[in-house]
Structure 1
């Protein structure tokens, strides 16, 4: 009986800790936000800046391959966000530029590998949009997949393999000024994908998303 009670306490503590970690979020809105979004018609989504780190680097860790994975994930997040917004297009007051067109225009202007050194109004001008959505995604792997599977099978929770955070921002295309910023810390479990991450986060911010009707 004592073992069962102890197990229940451990499960409850684990779930509560997960909920608390997932609830840490911040939203900033510029005083100019409401007036600015009224003038926006077309918005572009940029590839996200992704950083993947490890508490304990895996065997045969290769920095170059890790960087390639970061770039790939950055475009995956961009694509996942576009897909989510496209599915719910009727809910928004603006249209979103096709991400393939966005990336072609960035590449043509030789901005693809140097987005961070250009102002957001410069980027918006190249893309021909009224505003840009961009952000960062940081992920630190803290547990091996094998360890996560074992924990999940034994306890029914705790499949977390990492933790990190996502930051999403909107800047005005006219002057590059930041209008809106969303920051969220999160747990990542064994079964998470970029689609899952974006789906989960976009559902949470839907009430605060500036372009929601």
Structure 2
């Protein structure tokens, strides 16, 4: 299978709708007990009406998986930088350890979302988990450039990116917090651009922030 390399990434400008935020009434009580939180790979869906020539469904599925792990790593890196500033009330489990524990328990990227959150917390030995979802809608032409291992390039102005970050507690797996964020990307949108926008916006309301 021929692989295409994407050589040019242009600057990104995101326009977004106001975020939708849910916080459970029990969060403040649970927050006091939480010491360690894990971040699991994001659930990524890339929607397209038509695949470019030479691109298969399997290639898109692999990109979704790579992108999901990439967003997990980006989120972890962001939270670490915030922790270094003593901004959070919790510590975050290293994502390498998280992924190794999931693999040892037979939990793969494909069955992660069908596994109960309380079971995942037990496997990881944490008090809560942060998870995320990104659904990207973009029309593709036959000439669209694809770089295997990178996000599909050449975004159009009509593309939409719906993302969310959630926190589930460990005892019962209940949803404690959810942040929904919608954005549209200009030409050249990439994973780092999306994660930067998502984390920058969600961090203002992140409930483990000491100012929350």
State the TM-score, normalized to the length of structure 1. 0.80
Query: What do residues 24-70 of structure 1 show as CA deviations (whole Å, max 9, x unaligned)?
Result: 42100000011111111100000011111113321223001110000
1:125 corresponds to: 122
1:137 Cα deviation from its structure 2 partner? 0.6
Q: Secondary structure at the match of 2:37?
A: strand
Query: Is contact 1:161–1:190 with CA below 8 Å preserved after alignment?
Result: no
Q: From 27, 31, 34, give the equivalent of 1:33.
A: 27
Higher relative contact order (CA 8 A, sep 6+): 2
2:179 corresponds to: 182
User: Partners of 1:143 and 1:62 in 2: how far apart?
Assistant: 13
RMSD, aligned α-carbons:
2.3
Query: Is contact 2:53–2:142 with CA below 8 Å preserved after alignment?
Result: no
2:162 corresponds to: 165
2:98 corresponds to: 102
Residue 199, structure 1, aligned to residue 196, structure 2? yes
Q: Secondary structure at the match of 1:190?
A: coil
Q: Secondary structure at the match of 1:166?
A: strand
Residue 81, structure 1, aligned to residue 75, structure 2? yes
User: Partners of 2:53 and 2:159 in 1: how far apart?
Assistant: 17
Moved over 4 A (4+): 143-147
User: Partners of 2:142 and 2:55 in 1: how far apart?
Assistant: 16
Name the structure where helix makes up a greater proportion of residues: 1
1:58 corresponds to: 52
Gaps of 5+ in 2: 1-12, 145-154
1:210 corresponds to: 207
User: Partners of 1:77 and 1:46 in 2: how far apart?
Assistant: 9
Query: What do residues 7-34 of structure 1 show as CA deviations (whole Å, max 9, x unaligned)?
Result: xxxxxxxx9xx74xx1242100000011
- Number of residue pairs matched by the alignment: 186
1:124 Cα deviation from its structure 2 partner? 0.3
Query: What do residues 132-185 of structure 1 show as CA deviations (whole Å, max 9, x unaligned)?
Result: 0112111112366989xxxxxxxxxx9637222001110001110000001111
Q: Which has the larger radius of gyration?
A: 1
State the TM-score, normalized to the length of structure 2. 0.80
1:210 Cα deviation from its structure 2 partner? 0.7
